[in-house]
Amino acid sequence: MNGDRKGFEEDVKMEKLVFMWGYLPGALPQRLPLLSPVVVRLPPSSSVGTSWKDVCGGGCGFAMAISDSGKLITWGSTDDLGQSFVTSGKHGEKPEPFPLPTETPIVKAAACWAHCVAITESGEVYTWGWKECVPSGKVFGSPSIGLSIEKDVFEKQSLLTEQVSPRSQGSRTSGGTLFGSDSRGGDKTTKRRRVSPAKHSAESSSSGDETLSALPCLVTFNPGVRITTVAAGGRHTLALSDIGQVWGWGYGGEGQLGLGSRIRMVSFPHPVPCIDSSFTRDHSMKLSRGSRGSDGQGFRVPGNYIKGIACGGRHSAVITDAGALLTFGWGSYGQCGQGSIDDELSPTCVSALLGIRIEGVAAGLWHTVCISADGDVYAFGGNQFGQLGTGADQAETFPRLVDAPSLENVNAKFVSCGARHSAVVTDDKIFCWGWNKYGQLGLGDVIDRNIPTQVPIDGFIPRKVACGWWHTLLLAESPT
Domains of the chain: total: 1
Domain that holds residue 146: 2-478
CB 434 within 8 A of CB 422: yes
What integer pLDDT is reported at residue 99 of this predicted model? 87
Phi and psi dihedrals of 178, rounded to 5? Answer: -65, 125
User: How distant, in Å, are the alpha carbons of 3, 184, 226, 240, 444 from that of 248?
Assistant: 18, 32, 14, 9, 39
Q: H-helix or E-strand containing 165?
A: none
User: Which residue type sits at 132?
Assistant: E
What integer pLDDT is reported at residue 138 of this predicted model? 55
**pTM for the complete prediction?**
0.81
The rounded distance, in Å, linking the Cα atoms of 59 and 111 is 6
How far is the first Cα of the chain from the last one, in angstroms, to the nearest whole number?
Answer: 31
User: How distant, in Å, are the alpha carbons of 47, 65, 102, 140, 248 from that of 118?
Assistant: 18, 11, 11, 15, 14
The rounded distance, in Å, linking the Cα atoms of 31 and 204 is 19
Cα–Cα nearest to 17, from 56, 58, 59, 67 = 67
Map residue 160 onto helix, strand or coil.
helix
Q: H-helix or E-strand containing 1?
A: none
Determine the distance from the C-alpha atom of residue 117 to the mean position of all C-alpha atoms in its chain, rounded to a whole number: 12
Q: Tell me whether residue 401 is exposed, middle or buried, using C-beta atoms within 10 angstroms of its C-beta: 0 to 12, 13 to 18, 19 or more.
A: middle
What integer pLDDT is reported at residue 136 of this predicted model? 64
CATH of the domain at 421: 2.130.10.30
Rounded-to-5 percentages of helix, strand, coil across the chain? 10, 35, 55
| Strand ranges of the sheet holding 63-67, from the earlier edge strand across to the other edge | 52-55, 63-67, 72-75, 96-97
| Strand ranges of the sheet holding 471-478, from the earlier edge strand across to the other edge | 34-40, 15-22, 471-478, 461-467
- List per-residue pLDDT tens for the chain, 480 residues long: 766 654 444 444 578 999 999 988 777 666 788 999 999 999 888 789 889 999 998 887 889 999 999 999 998 865 544 445 555 555 567 888 988 999 999 999 999 888 999 999 999 999 998 888 888 655 454 433 232 222 322 333 333 333 333 333 333 233 322 222 232 233 333 333 232 232 232 223 233 344 467 788 899 999 999 999 999 999 999 999 999 999 999 999 999 999 999 998 998 999 999 987 555 555 434 343 333 333 444 567 899 999 999 999 999 999 999 999 999 999 999 999 999 999 999 999 999 999 999 999 999 999 999 999 999 999 999 999 999 999 999 999 999 999 999 999 999 999 999 999 999 999 999 999 999 999 999 999 999 999 999 999 989 999 999 999 999 999 999 876
